[in-house]
Amino acid sequence: MARVDMKMLKARVARSKELKSSAEAFIDTRIPEFNREIFNIIGRGVTEDARLKPAIEDNRDFNLTMMRAEPGKGSSQHDHPTIECFVALTGKWAITLGDDGEEQIVLEPFDVFSVPPGVMRGVKNISDAPACILAILGGTDPGRATWSPSINKRAKELGLGVNAAGDLVALK
């Protein structure tokens, strides 16, 4: 029987109290209604903030990210080239669907929703208190988020853009 490498296994533990977050993980986070905190737990996912390192780097086949948002806040409409699954941890979340968020599915704690590629989606905390939701993205490289043209325009007005590598950059 093989000996267990505890040093290696301990590096695969993400302690909640030790997680680092970013309030500028995506192009839309400077827009007031989309202010939120992002925690990369396993892998970088589609995060656009190159400074936000994951707690567990080995992300073979999936990435795990947690979002914490105040009431009425969340992410704007976007798409990914891979499946994205949402798991509500606390509070109540509206997953808005369609180019303009014209449809929605509401998740309560431990509800799960899987969004296929090609479907624009946003996430909004519809609770009366701060809440957390997990996002699981398929693939070792889940690609980059595609934002709606209106979000790209508003972000540019606030001085943010994304470079060719998919990282946030300050615009001049």
**Reported confidence tier of residue 3, pLDDT bands at 50, 70, 90:** confident
Reply yes or no on whether the pLDDT at 166 is more than 90. Answer: no
d(CA 67, CA 33): 14
φ, ψ (nearest 5 deg) of residue 17: -70, -10
Q: Is 154 helix (H, G, I), strand (E, B) or coil?
A: helix
d(CA 133, CA 165): 27
Q: Please name each of the domains of the chain with its CATH number.
A: 21-150 (2.60.120.10)
**Reported confidence tier of residue 172, pLDDT bands at 50, 70, 90:** confident
Report pLDDT for 111. Answer: 98
**By 3-state DSSP, what share of the chain in percent is helix, strand and coil, each rounded to 5?**
10, 35, 50
pLDDT digits (tens, 9 = 90+) for 86-144: 999 999 999 999 988 999 999 999 999 999 999 999 999 999 999 999 999 988 888 88
d(CA 56, CA 160): 28
Reply yes or no on whether the pLDDT at 20 is more than 80. Answer: yes
**Reported confidence tier of residue 159, pLDDT bands at 50, 70, 90:** confident
Whole-structure pTM value: 0.90
Beta carbons of 124 and 74 less than 8 angstroms apart: yes
